[in-house]
Amino acid sequence: MLLSTVSLIAFLGLVAYDVWPIGVMVFGVLVVLLMALEFIVYGVHQFAASALRVWRAGIDSMGNIVMDFRSSVGGGL
């Protein structure tokens, strides 16, 4: 199945290149850029999600520290 797909894409690419070489090159570059952009967007999303996870863990820890301090000095809520 993979071989037939690659063969079909190669055939269609060669036929299109014979008809409009500049268009095929421009389209190919656009496809490569969009495929790379997909990984860049995924990486930024993963970075933001992990940064938010760290931020929330820090906020929870600070809340626990404040609550422990309040209970140790006798002014707990």
pLDDT in tens, 21-75: 999 999 989 999 999 999 999 999 999 999 999 998 888 888 888 888 888 887 5
Q: Which residue has the tokens 């309040």?
A: 70
* Average pLDDT value for residue range 2-20: 92
CA distance readout (Å), 6 to 9, 19, 27, 28, 58: 5, 20, 18, 15, 50
What is the pLDDT, as a whole number, of residue 75?
Answer: 56
Number of domains in the chain: 1
Q: What residues make up the domain containing 39? A: 2-73
Is it the case that residue 7 has pLDDT exceeding 60? yes
Residue bearing the bigger pLDDT, 17 or 66? 17
